[in-house]
Structure 1
Amino acid sequence: MNAPVRNRGGAPVGFVSELDSVEAAAVLYLRLWSDGPNAKERVADDFVARLGADAGRHALHNFEDLCRLCIHYGRRPLMRHHVTCKCLGADEACFANFVATAGEGLREDAVMIATVLVRPDVALPLTDLERVAVFEIQDSPDA
């Protein structure tokens, strides 16, 4: 008899309020982007409002590529909590840690963290892509 498989990626490991502003934004944007077309539009509007039209669209394009790569090449489905949930899931914590590490320019560490999210052959392209978007969000006056 086989034991049921339990996806630990959704297990609560903390609270979103314990994250810094970049990590919390990464989790919120991931949740919104995954919550359907209306929520994706909210992400787009926020990027443009924070960064201006051109930089916002560029950052949004990178963020959408990041999300698509995580979905298409993920080791398993990326688990997320509801948009308004105060809990932080294990996969969300890994995603936030990846975004923050890539944003700090710690490329080798970011690649290592990315291998938890996606196949190893996709980790480097994922890290290069995210670094651009994160710097743009961090340089925003409202971030």
Structure 2
Amino acid sequence: MKHARDITGPATVGHMAEMTGLKGMVITCLRQWNRGGAAAALAVLRDRMGETRAAAAFEALQDVADSLDAHMRRPLRCHAPHCHCVGADEAAFARFVEESALGGREDALMLASLLVEARGILPLTEAAARLGLCLHRAVLYESAQRMPDPVSRTRH
């Protein structure tokens, strides 16, 4: 081979400090789901989003997991929940969820084709879009909570 590389799923491609916002939440949920199951992922969502929003996000996360279980090409490899590194599979999955929710549908479908068989592409992409939007709303809400109150309510 011209350029032989051994990049596998758990190969480190970044750090969690670089994964802010939506991508960081996706990776955290994925790690919790893989290590602690559905209950661990739900606990993380409740801590970050509150009960009502967490329920919607958890339902979407369950649909993503069901689609992956039924159609995935190979298992996604994840680092430990508190590891500071980000693996190749985690980064690719976070990018897929972000593209499904906020980016171009065509890009999301292409990324889904790398994760699952052909008949699982659409269900996975739809579930990932719902999950990504729920998590994106939570990120926006957290950002709004950190903004200081204006000195004056008058807007010009």
Query: Considering the TM-score relative to the shorter chain, is it more than 0.5?
Result: yes
Question: What is the alpha-carbon distance in structure 2 between the residues aligned to residue 88 and residue 45 of structure 1?
Answer: 21
Greater shift after overlay, 67-76 or 105-114? 67-76
Q: Could you report, residue by residue, the CA deviation over 1:36-91 in whole angstroms, capped at 9, with x for unpaired residues?
A: 24xx3242133234444333212101112212322332111111111111111111
Structure 1 runs (4+) greater than 6 angstroms displaced: none
Is 1:18 the equivalent of 2:18? yes
* C-alpha separation in 2, matches of 1:121 and 1:63: 19
Q: How many residues get paired? A: 136
Matched, 1:138 2:117: no
Give the TM-score normalised by structure 2: 0.77
Q: Percent identity?
A: 31
Contact 1:111 1:123 in 2 (8 A): yes
What is the CA RMSD across the aligned residues, in angstroms? 2.0
In structure 2, the partner of 1:36 is 36
After the TM superposition, which residues 18-97 of structure 1 pair with which residues of structure 2 at under 5 Å, given as runs? Answer: 18-37=18-37, 40-97=38-95
Q: How far off is 1:35 after superposition?
A: 0.9
Contact 1:71 1:78 in 2 (8 A): no
Please name the residue that 1:3 is paired with: none
Which 5+ residue runs of structure 2 have no aligned equivalent?
A: 1-5, 144-156
Larger CA Rg, structure 1 vs 2: 2
Q: Are the aligned partners of 2:56 and 2:134 in contact in 1 as well (CA < 8 Å)? A: no
Letter in 2 for 1:67: A
CA distance in 1, matches of 2:121, 2:62: 16
Say whether the 8 Å CA contact 1:98–1:114 is kept in structure 2. Answer: yes
Alpha carbons 1:62, 1:132 under 8 Å: kept: yes
Equivalent-residue separation in structure 1 for 2:118 and 2:24 (angstroms):
25
User: What amino acid does structure 2 have at the position aligned with 1:30?
Assistant: L
Q: Which amino acid aligns with 2:92?
A: C
User: What amino acid does structure 2 have at the position aligned with 1:130?
Assistant: A
The equivalent of 2:153 in structure 1 is none
Q: What TM-score comes out, normalization by structure 1 length?
A: 0.83
The equivalent residue for 2:147 is none
Structure 1 unaligned regions, length at least 5:
1-5
